[in-house]
Amino acid sequence: MKFATLALLSTLSSSAAFTSPSTTFTTSSYTRTKSSSLQSTLEESPTTSQPERIAPSAGHSPPWENRPGLTPEQFMQSDPSKPDISGMWECPLTRWDSETINVVEAQRLASKAPSCPYEIRASKEDNEMGSRYFSENRESIRKALLKHGAIWFRGFDLMKSVKGNREMHEALGLDPCLDPLHSSGLRKFASERDALYEEVNKPSLRGHYIGLHSESTAKRTAAYAAFVCFQRATEGGGRFLVADGAAILAEMDTKVLQKLYDRKIRISVSNLDIPPALPGVIKEGIKGLVDVAVAPKFDMDLEMIYESDGKPGRLQAVETAESPINRHPVT
């Protein structure tokens, strides 16, 4: 039995680590969920200042290989002979199986998990095969994905374009679905007819780092996700981090992990800063307005909470309490 933190997804990664734009498709397979009631996990303690958030570095940073790519006009071309697949299924419901987990045993099993990601580098002969490489090696690739949790395809010419990226996932027999956050409008399509999203690419977020996360929510989880980079970031940054969820689980302090498991975790999905000196009745009115106008855009169970992170005047939309560890539904 494998255990995975919420940060771990079976993922196909098919490009170098520098991304702009980074795009993804997701596919479906799980169908059942168990939701928990809203509950506060905040400790009653004096308000403290918000800790500084520092972007993490990578344990291993592969060198930029400077392989030639295509122009935007070339890599964004779709294949008009293929059918429009924009009418995708909803992202499947998250399958929760997190009760009675022995944290010590979970860490022991996680420490024995194979390394992630598994790297497959294309040879000249592999590239000459095009999409046939993936159809002929479908079973071995999917077994490796299940074993390692992620595959990094390097040096493949096929996935240098929207057209080729679709040929890859079709050859592997992966059916696309809507993004878990599709209803929020945070992600737009790079090529809707090819079920290819563009990763969050908002100028307003350039001063923020996006923390380690999985392409899932407490309600919805895609069985697989594929990411591809068509060109190097043009304004700096854009580095794509892949986290080994099993290694994170194994290396966490056991006492801290046990505390997180016992108390569960809640994730803030949206912040709104208002003047902290506003009268309580006005703050409650804003809270109700946000609950009605914003929360329905997210397919999540959310609670509006003021100042839970210690910042005066901050209104946060916070997910339900869920376990930080979940059993893998297959392995």
- The span from the CA of 225 to the CA of 323, in Å, is 22
Contact call for residues 136 and 129 (beta carbons, < 8 A): yes
State the DSSP H helix or E strand holding residue 310, giving kind and residue range, or none if neither: none
> Reduced to 3 states, what is the DSSP secondary structure of residue 170?
helix
Query: 3-class DSSP state for residue 193?
Result: helix
Check residue 22 and give its pLDDT.
33
Digit-by-digit pLDDT tens for the chain (331 residues) are 444 333 323 333 333 322 223 334 434 343 333 333 333 344 444 445 656 666 667 777 887 788 888 999 999 999 999 999 999 999 999 999 999 999 999 999 999 999 889 999 999 999 999 999 999 999 999 999 999 999 999 999 999 999 999 999 999 999 999 988 887 777 789 999 999 998 777 777 666 667 777 878 888 998 888 999 888 877 766 677 888 989 999 999 999 999 999 999 988 888 889 999 999 899 999 998 888 877 777 788 888 899 888 889 999 988 889 999 999 888 7
Give ∠ CA 279-282-283 in degrees, rounded to 5: 85
**Rounded Cα–Cα distance for residues 167 and 158 (Å):** 8
pTM score, whole prediction: 0.78
User: What DSSP element (H or E) covers 108?
Assistant: helix 103-111
Q: CA nearest 249: which of 2, 10, 4?
A: 4
